[in-house]
Amino acid sequence: MSKHLIVVESPAKAKTMNKYLGKDFTCLASYGHVRDLIPKQGAVETENDFGMKYELIEKNKKHVDAIVKAMKKADALYLATDPDREGEAISWHLHEILKAEDALDGKPVHRVEFFEITKSAIQHAITQPRQLSENLINAQQARRALDYLVGFNLSPLLWKKVRRGLSAGRVQSPALRLIVEREEEIERFQAREYWTIESDLAAQGKDFVARLTHFNGEKLEQFSIDNGARAAEIDTALLAAAQGRLVVLSVEKKQRRRNPAPPFTTSTLQQEASRKLGFSAQRTMRTAQQLYEGVDLGHGEIVGLISYMRTDAVNLANEAVTEIRDVIKDRYGAENLPDEPILYKNKSKNAQEAHEAIRPTSAARAPDSIKGHLKTDQLRLYELIWKRTVACQMMPALLDTVTVDLAAGEGNVFRANGSTVVKSGYMSVYQEDIDDKPADSPETAADEKLLPPMEQGESVELKLLRQEQHFTEPPPRYSEASLVKALEAYGIGRPSTYASIIVTLERREYVTLDNRRFRPTDVGRVVNKFLSEHFSHYVDYDFTARMEDDLDAISRGEKEWKPVLQEFWTDFKNQVKDKETVDRPGVEMMDEDCPKCGKKLAKRLGRNGYFIGCTGYPDCNYTRNVDDAVGASNEPEIVPDRMCPKCESHLVIKRGRYGRFIGCSNYPNCKHMEPLEKPADTGVECPECKQATMLKRKSRYGKVFYSCARYPDCKYAVWNPPINEPCPDCGWPILSIKTTKRRGTEKVCPQKECHFAVPYDGEIPIAEPKIAAGA
């Protein structure tokens, strides 16, 4: 019989630890949380010193029963749940359950922490136990109480004022506000026209481009040339002044260093995985959890491949840095190894939870050496983490930059920028991506452009002057990466909660993803408007950040948790009570009479967004879509010259949660439906079934993909446009056209195991989708 019981959260981790700790230990899993607040009003007793009523989570009862049974036979308990506040709270809940079941009976209880699942880390942790941290437990209890009080008091108000099934959360609501405010900013945006003058030049037989920066001795700002007539006037003057040649005024050469990015935190991992791999925050964290818990590398050896993935820290353990430096020296040469290790400091004042950044448990375990044991997502994420970690300890990159000013007559100056990589340093392994970088930013324009050698006073050939028209663009909608970055910047939530915040916003249909960018739905806008108007204090970014600061202070023992809750609750409950009588949002009276009964019409929020309906409802059932003509009938539009293929009834155009579609007028007796937009035929034969062609389709979230016309009988699909050309490497019957910011447009093989890719500059021959007749 084993002497010690050790409890972790996941069964995969338990299986690994049983192998590492030997026969004196039995390792069981709690399968996550074991207790939670009772799911009804009164779970937090605000009038009784914030007493909290917990109950066992039903789905985990059998796992808890197994832990209780094993503890009654064991001599000591080791609580080894995750090394953060949430993990501390799970350990505490287990301790309270075991105490209530008389399973402890004075036996020693140890709390152990490890940040990587390796044999040495676990065995070391067992020798360095500590007591449960009351401060961490109280901080998590305060967080849970706050979320409960906000949710259980605001959500019923939303049900009453907007519609049933909605929810408001302490961190979810400010995140929604970010997305809605960005959308409103885009809608308010008015584009401004501006022009630039660029010259195509040649020197030493090499072509290059320069942009006009000064005209008639005056420096040009963005809107100095704001119309085509002025641009043409300047163009004419420059041609006359230049006479086909420009003279080099100055050549400025500099060498600059570009330093590597620090190792990953939870937030930066989610951002980079979104930008480089197209992973959602949830997919990133799920895959990282698998890498942390361990993968079978053959011969029954299960090894944790990365350190704990919920962390705000950017520092690395000394032993890890030593191994990373050895790897750099062996793989990339001593010239890429700095004399001393590079140290990183966290810029966030609230960096907490774990001791280290996310890193491979062994840098010597290169991705190519274990790729046969990893799933595709696991390999891609591990490779990202490995490269970033190794690169962070490498030499900076050295770039030679050149700025050349050229004169086209007196007072007219063109500028050309260029740079070349002298020493690639860390860039040979990894480069960080950036969200929404302006296409004409100086760094983008200068990078990787080599100018011909020129000397002051030299004359260069002017081949062409070009007048380029531009329009200012609105700020981009948030992607997952830029939203995570904004949440972190504003202090909304914690990195470990970002994935759940995003999932909640999508699940509640407050936002949709369109081309990987967030758009607020009508429901999201109404909820945000209601909360911003009536609970502005609680969706305020500063307030949300201050609450996080208070929770951090509780975890450090600097504040007591119950006074923090009391301060919040006193104001919050009064505000909720005051808002019981406010007008219902999402209803806008219109200066238009109902064509059916003569009463006033109103714009209302329905299940599928806004519609126009009669205020005399239910006596009058007149409705129409917002974009329908005034006086339009609420009778569905019939599709001409077509009947339902299933029951021969009329087909009509309907509107659902994802927009308009064609359905049978005999619904619900007949449930035939089809898209309003007929999928465009690519003309490319499906490489899997070879019985139909690939069609261009759009997912319910607006993302374009290409799939077999025989779906669902054949489920072959790709994200990128297919072309009728076999892969020269693996022989797969088709290739696809893929465009990325880093690599541009390429022909690539859609087979994941094949890495064929070559540049592509042709057109993508895809027909436009057809709209159904009568639509």
Alpha-carbon gap, residue 491 to 489, rounded angstroms? 6
Residue in the block written with tokens 């750099």: 328
Q: CB neighbours (10 Å) of residue 98? A: 23
**Measured on CA atoms in the order 144, 489, 341, 448, is the torsion positive or negative?**
positive
Say which of 78, 148, 194, 308 is annotated catalytic: 308
8 Å CB contact between 614 and 621 = yes
Alpha-carbon gap, residue 263 to 346, rounded angstroms? 11
Element (H, E) at 517: strand 517-520
Residue type present at position 38: I
| 567's tokens | 């301060």
> Which DSSP symbol is given to 627?
T
Tell me whether residue 308 is one of the annotated catalytic residues: yes
User: 579 burial class (0-12, 13-18, 19+ CB within 10 angstroms)?
Assistant: middle
Three-state SS for 664-698 is ECCCCCCCCEEECEECEEEEEECCCCCCCEEEEEE
Start-to-end CA distance of the chain, whole Å, equals 74
| 230's tokens | 């002025």
Query: Which residues, 6 or more positions from 72, have their beta carbon under 8 angstroms from its beta carbon?
Result: 103
Alpha-carbon gap, residue 596 to 601, rounded angstroms? 11
Q: CB neighbours (10 Å) of residue 197? A: 22
Alpha-carbon gap, residue 159 to 584, rounded angstroms? 10
Alpha-carbon gap, residue 41 to 39, rounded angstroms? 7
Alpha-carbon gap, residue 360 to 270, rounded angstroms? 16
8 Å CB contact between 111 and 129 = yes
Alpha-carbon gap, residue 72 to 1, rounded angstroms? 12
> Which DSSP symbol is given to 264?
B
The catalytic residues are 308
